[in-house]
Structure 1
Amino acid sequence: MVHGWRAPRGDEGAVSTQLVLVVPALLLMALLVVQFALAWHAGHIAQYAAERALAAARLEDGGQAEGQTEARRGLAQLGSRVLTDPSVSVHRSATQATVRVNGSVMEVVPGLRLGVSGTASGAVERVTDPAGGRP
């Protein structure tokens, strides 16, 4: 008569112990992948808002207020949940405009708070004569 093979008694329950240890680590790794993918996406949202604000701020009749308005409009359209607590700073001189958008990424992993930013700068549009002076 042939009897089935039996594992030694010392190994019973080993798989359950391994699952208890491995599954949380795998879930944490998956959540970290999602968290960093959201950070990448939030960085793109911040950069888009900065470029949109720059386009408005650098116009000849534009200014800081127009840049702020365009940045807020772009942020509202794209990512109020992914990019949280955004702040927009627009600086404009006679020749240069610079916009910076900062914010935090939505938390997927508790306690991991990532920040992102987008920056854009460019020359202010102005009408000049061929010699470079104001007409």
Structure 2
Amino acid sequence: MSSRRDRGAVSAQLVVLTPVLMLLLLVAVQFALAWHAQHIAQLAASQGLADARAADGDESAGSDAAQAAIDNTAGRVLRQARVHTSRTESAASVRVDGQVLPLIPGLNLTVSGRAEGPVERFTTPEGAP
């Protein structure tokens, strides 16, 4: 049998533990959102690279493709996304940076995705007419 002194102890413990459990749940969801936003940034960088490294592509085509991927997939998860594209004669790279939708006040997480590769060029074998 429980004594009269223990009466209400479970209620008091529940009042103390509920906010802690809710915070842990929010932290888990926040990092799941960050993981998802990281994948969106990487997808956008890869899509941008595909257009930037094409033989007839350029930096603006890569930036436009990356921005279109962000617009189509990010929703509100990836915010303030910035696309940085560069291309030389031999290589192209695309970097996407952004902020994760904050669930916990004061916790501002940033993510980035990067893709780089050689520029496509048409060549002929040596000695070919």
Same fold, TM-score > 0.5, yes or no? yes
Q: Which of residues 47, 51, 55 is equivalent to 2:50? A: 55
CA distance in 2, matches of 1:58, 1:39: 28
Residues matched between the structures, number? 126
| TM-score normalised according to structure 2 size | 0.92
Give CA deviations for 1:15-60 in whole Å, capped at 9, x if unaligned: 2210111011111111111111111111110000000000000011
Q: Tell me the amino acid that sits aligned with residue 41 of structure 2.
A: A
Q: Secondary structure at the match of 1:28?
A: helix
For 1:78 and 1:114, locate their aligned partners in 2 and report how far apart those are by CA, in whole Å.
19
- Write the distance in 1 (CA, Å) between the matches of 2:75 and 2:53: 25
CA distance in 1, matches of 2:10, 2:56: 70
**Alignment equivalent of 2:7, drawn from 5, 8, 12:** 12
- Bigger Rg, structure 1 or 2: 1
Deviates more, 1:108-117 or 1:95-104: 108-117
Query: RMSD of the alignment, in Å?
Result: 1.2
**TM-score, L = length of structure 1:** 0.88
Of the candidates 61, 64, 68, which is equivalent to residue 59 of structure 2? 64
Alignment match, 1:116: 111
Shift of 1:87: 0.6
Within 5 Å, give how 1:1-135 maps onto structure 2. 5=1, 7-131=2-126
Letter paired with 1:95: S
Moved over 6 A (4+): none
Secondary structure of the 2:95 match is: strand
